[in-house]
Structure 1
């Protein structure tokens, strides 16, 4: 079974009115628009919205509002549910009848694109003529169905696919790693936002991101998504914090080193926030990723330059410049080996054992090592450790790169 490209969305007003789903924001995006963007990220390209209790003028206003949003790239059809299947519009309904199974979604659903993808991938193993629904436990079906194309005409019935719910084959996904919430009131809206923010932790794989950084960043991100601040602004502000951290290191005293270490630890938390906001508001971009990488590397320049200046103040230029020169040489080679072969951070080494080492050393974990040295008052030790370590790691990358090239050339 091919993945569906059409989603039919049944939109009905909650008891409190349409403002709850069409205007109320969940993590910075209105509930209904979030659903469309989530489905789009899951691979849906065409959307048919069948609404109740909205006149033609209101439908046109909301449709244009979505189509003008640069994040939305799909094809959107929006009609009154009763009128769409009426005799005068039969030709229009026939033209939109899908040729393969389609998704049927409740318009108040909040979930994540990964959940939808898992549902569709699991549904690929079922028969083409089956009705399939999502469930997070065997007793509780979700607001997401996969229907055969022959069921399209049944959407004109009062209860739509609900008549077939008892016959539906349920795909049960673990509630521990998946979520969906149907927003019916303010309480469920708050629950949806809370679960969505918590689900963002699944993006992280590094130890300190999971157990330290995300514990703080999720609360900061929850506030930031309610503001007009963009992820790129957050990346630039994080770079400013890194510059301030480097200035503190350059003071050459214990309090300056400690303040620099604490500010640097905060950049690790803040660096999670720009990604969180980008994902929650569907603002990821290639430019944003490149800007984030540039800012991260500039922060490294600021903090190590600050450390060098701080050591020079207390021990003289010799003990400061020797490890700093080693670090600059090793760091420059590492940057060239990792970023310039092709495809970004370490992708050239993806098929080798070196890739996991790159991902670990290029992570935010090392920031907390610096903080420990700052607390101990021995940033000069860390400067030597970083200088020697960078040269060793650069040599390891050079050897691994040569081996990778030899392997590629020797393959037929």
Structure 2
């Protein structure tokens, strides 16, 4: 998920250690500043890569699933490039941010649904795509809710657990391990349980942060 742009043109982590993938993305897109390339072009490339990944994962073949997993990891990295180019070039826009959020939702929902579809011949049977769809919708909800949290509470106030240059969402880069070791069914079941559980926790956490913020503003008066 690319970082939202604030009025100062800075993204999440600007005040501290920025994520490693965001730093690398910034270096890669810097030569595009001053060219005809726009952040929305990079968002579209990310969308196309995500759709290709979902198409590959929809196949039962382990080879196709491996290709899809690596393409998804690449798509996840490209997701940072549009925000970095927007910061460098000053080309951020409300439409671009909304477009990025929609692409995030589409890709994550289709990714898990496609993974389930490719496993229909396994132990999960016809329930596999249903389980995948629900897991994907939960992941999309998590990203959307976190964006709302950042908009209302600020980036620092809505920060999720991180370790140095790595954020909690960077776990998505490990997705290729799921196909390399062929633990797709176990991963899908864990995602079906874990993603909704995390979404519920995030909703509760957001409520707690809002209460704290409201109390803080009252004390300041």
Interval containing the TM-score (normalised by the shorter chain): 0.7 to 0.9
1:295 and 2:110 correspond = no
Q: Distance in 1 between matches of 2:145 and 2:86?
A: 28
Counterpart of 2:52 in structure 1 is 244
Counterpart of 1:356 in structure 2 is 160
Q: Distance in 2 between matches of 1:293 and 1:233?
A: 14
Cα distance, 1:241 vs. partner? 0.8
Contact 1:257–1:379 at 8 Å: present in 2 too? no
Q: Which 5+ residue runs of structure 1 have no aligned equivalent? A: 1-40, 43-112, 115-200
- With normalisation by structure 1, the TM-score equals 0.42
Q: Distance in 2 between matches of 1:352 and 1:217?
A: 21
Contact 1:252–1:314 at 8 Å: present in 2 too? no
Q: Distance in 1 between matches of 2:157 and 2:30?
A: 37
Of structures 1 and 2, the one scoring higher in RCO (CA 8 A, sep 6+) is 2
Contact 2:117–2:128 at 8 Å: present in 1 too? yes
- Change in CA separation of 1:246 and 1:228 when aligned onto 2, cut-off 3 Å: same
Structure 1 residues 247-396: aligned runs within 5 Å: 247-321=55-129, 323-324=131-132, 326-328=134-136, 330-331=138-139, 334=142, 337-339=145-147, 344-348=148-152, 355-357=159-161, 360-361=167-168, 363=169, 365-396=170-201
- Change in CA separation of 1:386 and 1:350 when aligned onto 2, cut-off 3 Å: farther
Q: Distance in 1 between matches of 2:206 and 2:62?
A: 41
- Structure having the higher strand fraction is 1
Instruction: Report the secondary structure of 1:311's partner residue.
Output: coil
- Change in CA separation of 1:310 and 1:289 when aligned onto 2, cut-off 3 Å: same
Counterpart of 1:232 in structure 2 is 40
Q: Which 5+ residue runs of structure 2 have no aligned equivalent? A: 1-6
- Change in CA separation of 1:376 and 1:353 when aligned onto 2, cut-off 3 Å: farther
- With normalisation by structure 2, the TM-score equals 0.73
Counterpart of 2:204 in structure 1 is 399
Contact 2:109–2:140 at 8 Å: present in 1 too? no
Contact 2:101–2:144 at 8 Å: present in 1 too? no
RMSD: 3.7
Counterpart of 1:205 in structure 2 is 18
1:218 and 2:27 correspond = yes
- Change in CA separation of 1:281 and 1:255 when aligned onto 2, cut-off 3 Å: same
Greater C-alpha radius of gyration: 1
Cα distance, 1:225 vs. partner? 4.0
- Structure having the higher helix fraction is 2
